[in-house]
Structure 1
Amino acid sequence: MLVCNIVPKMAANFLSGRKSISFVGCGIQIGFSVSLVGSEGLLLGLMAYDRYVAISHPLHYPILMNQKVCLQIIGSSWAFGIIDGVIQMVAAMSLPYCGSRNVDHFFCEVQALLKLACVDTSLFDTLLFACCVFMLLLPFSIIVASYACILGAVLRMRSAQTWKKALVTCSSHLTAVTIFYGTAIFMYLRPRRYRPPSHDKVASIFYTVLTPMLNPLIYSLRNQEVMGALRKVLNHCRIGSQP
């Protein structure tokens, strides 16, 4: 959904050469993108707890992670993400804009839009920073705590086979977390004076386009058929590149 919110309009602008979006369309894009990014961040955080239960309490996993708990995890992720998106969309759209309306970004991103406002946006910057701290650091704290408990549980078991199973169980989630949170924290938790627009654009590509695009592959690496097909493709490419 995040890709569908950003990429079609971005591709249409690049292909047509118009590079424009309506004010209402810009607000809708902000609301959806912030909601979806926030929901994904919270879901990744709560998935770390799922990994902890799977490794530390494997026999109780079906009870601890039953359907009701899974629905609560999904519902809370969407609820907090949507609230965050609505707050930022309403606040950004309520500001007056004058002069140049050229958004220095490939989509309507809140920080890029604030630079075009005719009024002092320090209050909004504080609100934006508070929302980002909550939506990024809260789930990131859950991830750190969960993996600390996982590491402690694995160390107590002292088995090479256990280490291997734990790595296989957590590898996909850790990969997604590294890409998503690394770029999101780089984007939103830096001081304003260290935010050149070119860096923001590159970082945005990672969490808005590359991460959602790679998710199906990342979460399929535990599937033996997918791994076998991937090896065949790599072997074919290696043979084809030989003179």
Structure 2
Amino acid sequence: MKKKLAILCALGLVLAVSLPAQNLLRETSEFQRAQELRRQADEAFEEGEYERAIELAAEAEEYAQLAEEAARHLWWGYRARSARTRTERGITRVRNLGEPLNHPDRFEEAKEKFDEGSALIDDEEYETAFNLFQDSLALLDGLRLAQDVLPAYYTVRRIPERRDSFWRIAEYDFVYGDGFQWRRLYEANKDVIQDPDNPRLIQPGQRFRIPEREGETRRGDWQP
């Protein structure tokens, strides 16, 4: 009776594996082999061939463990490839921001980790690759253009209490912070105003280019 109970316990443990993705288990050839051995062990047990049943159950358990390892490998492969896609999109997003970035060194490190992870996917070292992609995503988080990037264009506004003029536009901190720089704006935008010889004739809605000074980086439009 004790032998029968031991065999029943052994048969019950076969394929009793714990996986984050149980559905991948059935995709492995090891699982199919374990199932077949389990069936043979059941038959041997029913026929009273207990020693044979124990041998088959033990072999089935070995294949069940191999199936678990194979399924975990597939699962990490899926996670790693998914993380690579997310990381690649993140790198593209940051690259499209332009330069300079607020933390260019972090961006370089993120790209290095992405390249390392991609190489490991080719070697099927999925878990390590996944962790590298996660590290890369963490580095990409919060990257943006540096705060000293200034607007390259300004659109004239209708401000009742303070009518825009080249002088007043030049006074804005995000332009030059100095009204005496108005002529720089005027010379760069003569072709925009109605009378190129009269800098006073500017109208709301006109879009002026703000020339860069030495050491400045300008990009995009100023947003009020």
Q: TM-score, normalised by structure 2?
A: 0.27
* Structure with the bigger percentage of strand: 2
The answer to which structure has the higher helix fraction is 1
For CA contacts below 8 A with separation 6 or more, give which structure has more relative contact order: 1
Q: How does the TM-score come out when normalised to structure 1?
A: 0.26
